[in-house]
Amino acid sequence: MDGDKTRICVLFDIYGELLSPSVADAVDLYYNDDLSLSEVAENTGISRQGVRDSLRRGVELLENYESKLGLYGKYRENENTVKQIVSAVESLSAPDGEKAAVVSLLGKLSF
């Protein structure tokens, strides 16, 4: 449960719809809204231990989905590839306007 919060937030963005509503609420409130276990329990009406169990289960499911589907890994790979392309474009001896246009187009890619 104390894993990399940023990673879990991104995994939740990718796979959150696959979680049950109660687990998704707990994960969203804890990781995205940065609420404590007690605050999540208060907002959801379940016990603090129930929140803890939901978070553990939710993170386990998110990691399981990622291990099977690999969308976060592909996202990171594509992000790194775009950075490399931007770097290569900026080093070309093309007019600055053309470089800026290509860099702008690469910035519009969403993964």
What are the per-10-residue average pLDDT scores of the chain (111 residues)?
79 97 97 96 96 97 97 90 86 81 81 58
| CATH placement of domain 5-69 | 1.10.10.10
State residue 94's pLDDT score.
Answer: 76
State residue 106's pLDDT score.
Answer: 83
CA distances to 40, 50, 59, 103, 110 from 5, in Å: 16, 20, 10, 30, 22
- Locate the domains of the chain by residue range: 5-69, 73-107
State residue 69's pLDDT score.
Answer: 97
State residue 110's pLDDT score.
Answer: 64
Q: Which residue type does 35 have?
A: L
- The distance from CA 51 to its chain's CA centroid, rounded to whole angstroms, is 21
State residue 8's pLDDT score.
Answer: 96
